[in-house]
């Protein structure tokens, strides 16, 4: 187990929260050499019915750096929406990682998804964050962790409510050895 120390600010002032992250902390330990190269990265996929705010608009337009900047600026003002902002931040870095093949963007995306899962496990975005974290692990060759994450999230991705994400989930599972 890896012990993660994450600093957050709440209404009462700054606090330090210690979390045992376990398998999910692996995203912090990625090395640039661990990233594999896909022939073609799929287009960014967002959950059905996702809020159409400025960050989402940037993500849909493929403006990942702009989406990242706005998401980061919203962290301190995201009361009630922090799970969404963490998910959007992760998706922006995932888009940047696909464009640049930069391992640091994969790491940062994984950290954002991990935080969304850790702090907001009942959020509407938790399942999507877990799926993307599974994708990241598959990309870096950690197939056993990817399979565990993707299998665990399978009941949370409804094929009728979000058929595109469900298809993505099934494709990712089928591609694992």
Among 49, 112, 127, 45, smallest CA distance to 82 is for: 112
Q: Which two tokens stand for residue 131?
A: 């799926």
Q: Is residue 49 over pLDDT 50?
A: yes
Q: Among 17-31, 56-70, 93-107, 133-147, which is the least confidently predicted range? A: 17-31
pLDDT in tens, 83-93: 999 999 999 99
Residue 142, domain member (yes or no) = yes
* Residue pair 114/21 in contact by the 8 Å Cβ criterion: yes
- C-alpha neighbours within 13 Å on the C-beta side of residue 33: 0
Residue 44, domain member (yes or no) = no
Residue 100's contacts (CB-CB under 8 Å, 6 or more residues apart) are none
Residue 109, domain member (yes or no) = yes
pLDDT in tens, 32-47: 333 333 344 445 888 8
Q: Is residue 2 over pLDDT 90?
A: no
Instruction: Measure the CA–CA gap between 104 and 107, rounded to whole angstroms.
Output: 5
- DSSP SS3 for 51: coil
Residue 24, domain member (yes or no) = no
Query: In this predicted structure, what is the pLDDT of residue 100?
Result: 92
State the residue range of the domain holding 170.
Answer: 51-175
Residue 67, domain member (yes or no) = yes
* Residue pair 86/118 in contact by the 8 Å Cβ criterion: no
Q: Assign residue 116 the CATH number of its domain.
A: 1.25.40.10
- Output the CA angle 135-25-45, nearest 5 degrees: 25
Q: Which two tokens stand for residue 34?
A: 């661990």
Q: pTM of this prediction?
A: 0.75
Residue 8, domain member (yes or no) = no
Instruction: Measure the CA–CA gap between 154 and 175, rounded to whole angstroms.
Output: 15
Q: Among 36-45, 65-74, 81-90, 139-148, which is the least confidently predicted range? A: 36-45
Indicate the number of domains in the chain: 1
- Average pLDDT over every residue of 112-126: 94
């Amino acid at each position: 187990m890896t012990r993660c120390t994450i600093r957050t600010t709440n209404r009462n002032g700054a606090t330090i929260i210690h979390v045992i992250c376990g398998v999910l902390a692996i995203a912090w330990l990625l090395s640039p050499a661990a990233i594999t190269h896909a022939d073609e990265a799929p287009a960014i996929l967002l959950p059905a019915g996702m809020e159409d705010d400025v960050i989402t608009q940037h993500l849909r337009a493929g403006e990942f750096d702009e989406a990242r900047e706005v998401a980061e600026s919203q962290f301190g003002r995201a009361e009630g929406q922090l799970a969404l902002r963490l998910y959007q931040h992760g998706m922006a870095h995932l888009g940047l990682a696909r464009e640049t093949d930069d391992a640091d963007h994969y790491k940062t995306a994984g950290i954002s998804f991990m935080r969304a899962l850790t702090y907001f496990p009942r959020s509407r975005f938790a399942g999507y964050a877990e799926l993307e974290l599974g994708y990241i692990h598959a990309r870096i060759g950690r197939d056993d962790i990817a399979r565990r994450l993707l299998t665990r999230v399978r009941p949370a991705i409804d094929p009728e409510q979000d058929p595109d994400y469900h298809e993505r989930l099934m494709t990712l599972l089928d591609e694992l050895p």
